Structure 1
Amino acid sequence: MFSTSTTRRLVMAAALAVMSLSVSAQSLRIGYVNLERILRDSTSAKAAQTKLEKEFASREKEIQNLAAQLKSASEKFEREAPTLAEGQRTTRQRQLIDQDREFQRKQREFQEDLNLRKNEELQGVLERANRVIRQIAESEKYDLIVQEAVYINPKHDITDKVIGGLNGAK
């Protein structure tokens, strides 16, 4: 991987970067935003979720109906299989396989369409959230706002301000 001298240089560079940050950290203003909370708690995210549920409700019901029909047909076949002639049993098995294949296809298409639309809606929420974050950063003179971190002191969390800005924005 890295030679010992390369590793030492990387460690030294990191140490120098940390020291230079600590010297200037006194004037550095940092904020943190929890995107998961924004996507869960903001009214625009909730509105997007409701919109998706309405948009896909009929297709979801259709998938559920197909699943119930497939289960019913499979159970019926299991009950009747011992009394069926070999040709009938083979025909019914093929029908079940075709029915299952159709169900799997429709379920896959539904999931792909739902994921695509969900990503589109979430992208819109994220774009609005980023605009609000920039406005807060500029108006409150933040030097850095991070969206992911291993640890954040709660005093740096500005997620509530962002959610408030999103909920108040039109």
Structure 2
Amino acid sequence: MLLGALIEKPMSAYEMKKNMEARNINSWVKISSPSVYKNLVAMNGKGYLDDEVVKEGERPAKKIYSINEKGRNYFFSMMEKYSKQPDKIYIDFVAFVANLYNVDPEKGLEMMKNLRTNLSKEREYIKSNIEAKKEFVPFYAISILELYDKMYAMFSEWTEEITHDYVQKNNH
């Protein structure tokens, strides 16, 4: 994400953080403000970025990062890699489901309801983002949010099935 943003235009770590927030990227990619700074410094150290210290008027100096040829090559090699070999998807809550047998059935059912409720809340949040930003953000951002909407719909359906099976198993 960071290299792609720097292909668009050079920017400081603070501008990058604001850019990520404005584009609501943290809704669909695990990225935090500290990791923006940390990763820019790391990529700069690996030689993927150039930096220039700029001072504007009375403001403190800031470091502006820009992607260089080595960074562009790395960016495009990563794009190629992920298009040919997507990573496995790990879903944190499956560990919870896999351990349901270790809790009291009544408590387990309550926990499953909590999971379904929170998955529904996440889906509603994503749907509201799609509607609110549809005309202001690039198509790829909307398509990624739509992917998450579909995933949350599938997760909700799956948790209903699991809850049903869980109730059936614990009533016998």
- Structure 1 and Structure 2 fold alike (TM over 0.5): no
Higher-Rg member (1/2): 1
Bigger relative CO (Cα 8 Å, ≥ 6 apart): 1
Q: Which TM-score applies when normalising by structure 1?
A: 0.31
Higher helix share: 1
Higher strand share: 2
